[in-house]
Structure 1
Amino acid sequence: MSGLYIERRSFFHSLDPRAKLVWALLVLAASIVTQFNGLKSFPIFVSTIVALILSGIGAGLAAILIFNSLIFLLITTLVWAGMYSNQGRLVLDLWIIKVTDVGLLVASGKFFLIMSPVFAFITFFVTTKPYHVSWTLEKIRVPPKLSTAFVIAVSLLPTMVKATRDVIDVQRLRGLALDKGSIPERLRKYIPIIVPVISRLLSDVWDLSMVLASRYVGYSKKRTYLLEPKWVKRDTLFLLFSIIFYGVILLWGLL
């Protein structure tokens, strides 16, 4: 199972998984601290965009992720700017919703709080083989069974999405109109989709459990790995730069 991993030759692919994991956690920590000020969290978001580009996932996929995030930015702006409409200087008056500078800062900060860690962990999983993800988790003292279960769950995500898409296409060919009717009717129409998807996934999980049992996975207390990543100078420099960059932003956010 390759899961979210994409085989490429890029800067992030060449990094040690431990360095990438620490980087993603630093992005998460800095995003949490600066969540109420979009000006302070903007450099974090830019760094994750640069990471997506350096991960070699392709311009098309990166453009789709960024475009979808802009839609989410519009939603968060309408929600949070409305909640802070009585604070700060009025910037934009949209009839019912009044947007102030404070509301924009909070809305953008909340947007970056969600999207920056999402982009960071997408970069991590896209550039790290599931084999090495499990190895990294065990290096930080995560139990082997838990790390294996986590890696399998992440690896099954593309399979779940594809299975759902296939079932929806088949049901639409049979005349199921998901975009018509009231909200309760639309929800009821998803039952012919949920049942086949769950049935298919249960079958896949059963087959996978047989494969794992035949390989004695989960019965030994400690796993061994044939190919282990090696920490090199490039990883040290990347980690030091990340600690300094996000450390400054953390201090800025705390101040």
Structure 2
Amino acid sequence: MLSGLYVERKSFFHSLDPRVKLLWATLVLAASIATQFNGLKSFPVFVSAIAALTLSGIGAGLAAVLIFNSLVFLLITTLVWAGMYSGHGSPVFVLGFLRITDVGLLVASGKFFLIMSPVFAFITFFVTTKPYHVAWTLEKMGMPSKVSTAFVIAVSLLPTMVKATRDVIDIQKLRGLALDRGSVLDRLRNYIPIIVPVISRLLSDVWDLSLVLASRYVGYSKRRTYLLEPRWSSRDTVFALLSLVFYGVIIAWGLQLL
């Protein structure tokens, strides 16, 4: 139940210490923020996040699906941000009232990478790190045991919530429930037979989980102990140094320090 997003594989990212993976994901976030107004500068960050997602062992197919689905968001950001900066730069595409300039494209792509690069990076982190080790990493950072445990449980329950919602929707559709008919209020009202069973099912799962945690004495001690703790290796040191140099240069480039 608490496997969460983790996928059991043998990959380069699976073999890394969770602390260095969290450092890498944080650097991706920082570099994306520093280059958010220039897609040309943030593009290497996006490519590195995609490469990491592919190397995480989840398969190039799933990575391609995530990238394809993000193209819709790219179209939306292009229309919004390119429209806001239509008066800056040279026009690239003009169709009626729609005027897209080179500056608008750079800003729009930068905003797109600002969202998607950290998303791909943290997906890679959770896909390649066991929830057990995620909690251990957060505690090593100084987070209280109760908070780290609650965070890991919340993240781990996301796939369960999605699956439960999908199952209830399929069952209700077989019973004749139409979710795409009527006015907006009617459609919202049609979701009531879905929300109630989903909440009821999740409350049942949470109750069972609370009994399991109580039987293991979770939350009653100030400091949680771990039987299997990751060990920092030379591979982690090399990866951390390369990440600091690579994203440090991009951050300095984005902040116009270079």
Q: TM-score range by the shorter chain?
A: over 0.9
Partner Cα distance (2:16, 2:104) in 1? 39
In structure 2, what is the equivalent of residue 219 of structure 1? 220
Partner Cα distance (1:246, 1:194) in 2? 43
Give TM-score scaled by structure 1 length.
0.98
Root mean square deviation of aligned Cα: 0.8
CA drift of 1:95 comes to 2.4
CA drift of 1:53 comes to 1.0
Partner Cα distance (2:44, 2:69) in 1? 19
In structure 2, what is the equivalent of residue 71 of structure 1? 72
CA drift of 1:90 comes to 0.6
In structure 2, what is the equivalent of residue 88 of structure 1? 89
Give TM-score scaled by structure 2 length.
0.97
Gaps of 5+ in 2: none
CA drift of 1:96 comes to 2.7
Q: Deviations for 1:23-64, whole angstroms, at most 9, x for unmatched residues?
A: 000000111111111111000000000001110101221111
1:157 paired with 2:158, answer yes
Aligned to 2:181, the other structure's residue is in SS state: coil
Partner Cα distance (1:188, 1:148) in 2? 35
1:107 paired with 2:108, answer yes
Partner Cα distance (2:167, 2:108) in 1? 36
In structure 2, what is the equivalent of residue 2 of structure 1? 3
In structure 1, what is the equivalent of residue 193 of structure 2? 192
Percent identity, aligned pairs only, is 80
In structure 2, what is the equivalent of residue 169 of structure 1? 170
In structure 1, what is the equivalent of residue 235 of structure 2? 234
CA drift of 1:93 comes to 1.3
Aligned to 2:228, the other structure's residue is in SS state: coil
1:61 paired with 2:62, answer yes
Partner Cα distance (2:252, 2:105) in 1? 22
CA drift of 1:94 comes to 2.9
Partner Cα distance (1:70, 1:93) in 2? 21
In structure 1, what is the equivalent of residue 139 of structure 2? 138
Aligned length: 255
Q: Deviations for 1:183-231, whole angstroms, at most 9, x for unmatched residues?
A: 2221121111111111111111111011101110000001111110000
Q: Deviations for 1:80-136, whole angstroms, at most 9, x for unmatched residues?
A: 111111111110113232111111111101100000000000000000000000000
Of 35-44 and 180-189, deviating more is 180-189
Partner Cα distance (1:184, 1:63) in 2? 36
CA drift of 1:182 comes to 2.1
Moved over 4 A (4+): none
CA drift of 1:145 comes to 0.2
In structure 2, what is the equivalent of residue 251 of structure 1? 252
Gaps of 5+ in 1: none
Aligned to 1:93, the other structure's residue is in SS state: strand
Aligned to 1:12, the other structure's residue is in SS state: coil
CA drift of 1:181 comes to 2.0
Letter in 2 for 1:191: I
